[in-house]
Amino acid sequence: MSRMGAINNKSVAEESLRQAENKLKSLNRVLSKLDSDDFGICLKCKNKIPYVRILIRPQSLLCVNCPQYLF
């Protein structure tokens, strides 16, 4: 494999690792809320997040109406 190819593969691997770590962090944050009243409540507008959304994106801490740039 060429040196450039190796570098590209490395950055692709690092990028997916970073995304996985971010997802893990969000999931841990959600897990830490499981026992609290905040679980299933949008961090921004304090509306209830539909369970379907939590099932699809369990790491989501915001409802569909709020911009997702924070997470």
Does 66 bind Zn ion (CB under 5 A)? Our answer is yes
Q: Give, in order, the Cα–Cα distances in Å from 69 to each of 35, 46, 57, 59.
A: 26, 17, 15, 13
44 binds Zn ion (CB under 5 A): yes
H-only helix segments in 1-71: 3-33, 51-56
Q: Exactly one of 30, 42, 60, 61 binds Zn ion (CB under 5 A); which one? A: 42
Select from 45, 48, 50, 58 the one that contacts Zn ion (CB under 5 A): 45
Q: Which amino acid does the sequence have at 49?
A: I
Contact residues: Zn ion, CB under 5 A:
42, 44-45, 63, 66
